[in-house]
Amino acid sequence: MGKSRWYRAWPGAALMAVAVVAAGCSSGGSSSPSTTAAPTSTTGSSGSPTSSTATAAQIDIGAITSKTGPLAGYFDGLAPGMIAYFNVLDAHGGVNGHKIVMTNSLDDGGSPTQFVQDAHTLIDQDHVFGIGVASAWFTPNYFVSTATPTYGYNVSANWAGPPNLYAVGGSTQVYANSYSTMAYFINKVGAKKVAFISYGPSISSSYDACSSYATGLKAAGYDVVLADVGAQLGGSYSSDVQRLQQSGAQLVVTCMQATDNITLARDIQQYGLKIKQFWLNGYDQALLNQYGSLMQGVYVDNVGEVPFQAADSARFGNTYAAMQTYLAAMNKYEPGFAYNSVALQGWLSAALIAAGVKAAGGTVTPASVIRATNSITDFTAGGLSAPVNWSVSHTGTTFPDCTSFIQVQNGKYVPVFAPGKQVFICLNRNVKNPVPVTPPPGTPGAGS
């Protein structure tokens, strides 16, 4: 899959700036996911990360997330998603005789120093088998040097390369691979003049995304009439709205955090500007619950994951039974995180751990799980994401690029554009004339 992780790639970087300011002042994993409350604070001992063999019945997993501090609320869902998956998995006997348990979930408090300390705690003291990570402060060095299987939420380029780092959906970020997907969207909504708004270079992932799209699409012949790639984090956007009016833009694409998207939408509404909006960060039920009137008609991108709304049996039947299973488990065990995108990242991460353990067979060590996982070429977590080829997804990407587009309609998120009961639009590299292609084998909903 060639996705660039549009709305997922940069929010952590944007929030890092906030934190710095504050401080300065097989579809593997198809096992039926739940029945037991999972521990989150006791420690385990599966042996050293480079040589342990999971001969015992239990495989211990740790987690590091930002539960408190400036980043709380953006990254705290990963551990609940992993715990819910393990509960369901273990209720059905685990994998190859092994139960997988979250034995220690640590909080980095939005601090890079604490993140490093937490990593040493889990690896050196608890001797966990693998680790889930959702933090803007993720640095790969110690995880790589200890060959610890590491899974989680990709908010930086730090995940790319090493064979033991598994960011959900693929560890690379290549914006150019999604030019055709962005071009398809522009054509689909009939926008002849397009604008992009992001933060400046100091918030690199925001800047890199929108500046790359603006440059690439303009080179392909699209009329990019405005590219403000120096917007202020947490600022006013009235001047941008005035520039949008003057430019004649019919669509504005934003690479900003959700609260700034809301500010921009409010200014657009106050100025009476009629313009389509595409937010690369905004698929958030809590946000919609609070700002439904401002978000009416807004489009958001869900990259390569099945949207929560695909569980709607009235529209989709049981086409996306995996999403129905996910929501049922989350509502039972972690109800506060059921519609949390990072919790879904946690579930997908846990599913990949289970898939690697299963593929490793009789001798389960960190090394054998890494080798086995890297031979999985069609991972969908049992039907929750477009296929990921882990034989290449550490350093490269594959095509077609599959994305689910969502629009706010009458106060609800609604999957749009895909035919029938499908949710994914898949495209190859053609930017000038992007046309959907047949989804890869194994894509959830393909052909339905």
Tens of pLDDT, residue by residue over 406-418, are 999 999 999 999 9
- The pLDDT score that the predictor gives to residue 228 is 96
* Mean pLDDT of the 367-393 span: 97
Average pLDDT along the chain? 88
DSSP for 108-177? -TT-HHHHHHHHHIIIIIS--SEEEEE-TT---HHHHHTT--EEE---SGGGSS-TTEEETT-S---GGG
Predicted pLDDT of residue 315: 97
Query: pLDDT per residue over 231-251, tens digit each?
Result: 998 989 999 999 999 999 999
**pLDDT tens digits, 80-101:** 999 999 999 999 999 999 999 9
How does residue 56 score in pLDDT terms, banded at 50, 70 and 90? low
16 within 8 A of 136, measured Cβ to Cβ: yes
Asked if domains 6-173+321-373 and 175-301 share a fold, the reply is yes
Lowest mean pLDDT among 8-17, 226-235, 367-376: 8-17
Q: What's the CA gap between 9 and 6, in Å, rounded?
A: 6
Tokens 């490093």, residue? Answer: 116
Domain extents in the chain: 6-173+321-373, 175-301
Q: Which of 110, 18, 5 is nearest to 64 (CA)?
A: 110
Across 308-323, average pLDDT = 97
Q: Which fold has domain 6-173+321-373?
A: Rossmann fold (3.40.50)
Q: Directed axis angle between helix 258-270 and helix 238-247, to 10°?
A: 60
Mean pLDDT calculated for residue range 45-54? 39
Would you identify the CATH topology of the domain 175-301?
Rossmann fold (3.40.50)
